[in-house]
């Protein structure tokens, strides 16, 4: 299993088709027009491939500048993300994702870099406590007022009327919900306080509701597991 990061405009038509089919396999309500629009809005794509070139997962990234009060921020927004069951035990996605984001940040202006994440699945939410020391929302700590205000600002700016401030949920006009097999949170997983908290905060996840999550992206915020994902080399680039 290997992961590569490429600029979105370097994707081939074959890459796009493989991504669409993989997303359609795991989500209900996937429409090609919506998929293309979302993909064209991003500037980086991570592809996870098995031997032989079989696409086993992908994640899209939009990096954009914004301001919060007088502060300039660089936002990393995660778009469509899916990993096929055959790659669930692989660390390829978090490894190349962290490495790619580190690379993107090093190319941009100095300043605070923050991660804006939407998730309708507990598996994605579960990456937060594994790889980051501080993230929100979380079960063991109230979100500080200033952090919550920033989260609300970013979500309102990005999602407008689709963001519900009182619940921290984004509900799209054409939601994509996980397939019947993947949407259910197994009863045994609810003993995990992180999973239980996600389930509590996002009771409509099975309908495609997306929970807004946030973390600062810097070396100090990486957990020990996160630091192990970081290497000195830059992410591989795929030629056009």
What are the tens digits of pLDDT across the range 82-141?
Answer: 888 777 777 788 888 988 888 887 776 667 899 999 999 888 999 999 999 999 999 999
Report the pLDDT value the prediction gives residue 166, as an integer from 0 to 100: 97
* Whether the Cβ atoms of residue 79 and residue 59 lie closer than 8 Å to each other: yes
Report the pLDDT value the prediction gives residue 52, as an integer from 0 to 100: 73
CA 67 to chain centre: 21
Give the model confidence (pLDDT) of 164-195 as tens digits: 999 999 999 988 877 767 767 778 888 999 99
Report the pLDDT value the prediction gives residue 175, as an integer from 0 to 100: 85
Q: How far apart are CA 162 and CA 159, in angstroms?
A: 5
Comparing C-alpha atoms, which of 10, 23, 92, 20 is closest to residue 51?
A: 92
Give yes or no for residue 237 having a pLDDT over 70: no
Report the pLDDT value the prediction gives residue 234, as an integer from 0 to 100: 43
Q: How far apart are CA 102 and CA 108, in angstroms?
A: 10
**Topology of domain 2-229, CATH:** Aminopeptidase (3.40.630)
Tally the residues of the chain.
240
* Whether the Cβ atoms of residue 125 and residue 213 lie closer than 8 Å to each other: yes
Residue 122, Cβ density class (10 Å: 0-12 exposed, 13-18 middle, ≥19 buried) = buried
The partner residues of 136 in beta bridges, in order of sequence, read: 214
Q: At what angle do helices 13-26 and 32-40 cross, to 10 degrees?
A: 120
Give yes or no for residue 32 having a pLDDT over 70: yes
Q: How far apart are CA 59 and CA 54, in angstroms?
A: 15
Asked if the bond preceding 188 is cis, omega within 30° of 0, the reply is no
User: Which position has the token pair 């996002």?
Assistant: 202
* Whether the Cβ atoms of residue 216 and residue 117 lie closer than 8 Å to each other: no
CA 144 to chain centre: 22
pLDDT bin (cut points 50, 70, 90) of residue 81 is confident
Question: How far lies 157's CA from each of 44, 48, 129, 142, 160, in Å?
Answer: 21, 31, 26, 23, 6
Give yes or no for residue 235 having a pLDDT over 50: no
How does the average pLDDT of the chain come out, rounded?
A: 89
Q: What percent of the chain has pLDDT over 90?
A: 60
């Amino acid at each position: 299993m290997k992961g590569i990061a490429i600029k979105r405009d370097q994707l081939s038509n074959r890459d796009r088709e493989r991504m669409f089919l993989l997303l359609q396999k795991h989500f209900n309500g996937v429409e090609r027009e919506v998929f293309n629009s979302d993909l064209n809005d991003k500037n980086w794509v991570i592809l996870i491939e098995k031997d032989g070139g079989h696409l086993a997962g992908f994640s899209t990234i939009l990096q954009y500048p914004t301001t919060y009060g007088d502060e300039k921020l660089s936002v990393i927004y995660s778009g469509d993300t899916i990993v096929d069951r055959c790659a669930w035990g692989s660390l390829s996605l978090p490894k190349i994702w962290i490495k790619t984001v580190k690379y993107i940040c090093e190319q941009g202006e100095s300043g605070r870099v923050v991660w804006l994440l939407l998730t309708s699945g507990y598996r994605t939410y579960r990456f937060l406590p594994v790889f980051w020391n501080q993230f929100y929302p979380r079960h063991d700590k109230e979100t500080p007022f200033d952090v919550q205000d920033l989260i609300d600002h970013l979500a309102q700016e990005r999602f407008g009327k689709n963001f519900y401030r009182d619940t921290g949920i984004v509900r799209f006009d054409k939601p994509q919900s996980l397939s019947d097999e993947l949407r259910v949170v197994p009863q045994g997983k609810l003993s995990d306080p992180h999973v239980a908290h996600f389930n509590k905060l996002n009771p409509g996840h099975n309908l495609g509701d997306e929970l807004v999550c946030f973390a600062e992206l810097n070396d100090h915020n990486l957990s020990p597991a996160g630091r192990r994902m970081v290497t000195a080399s830059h992410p591989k680039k795929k030629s056009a």
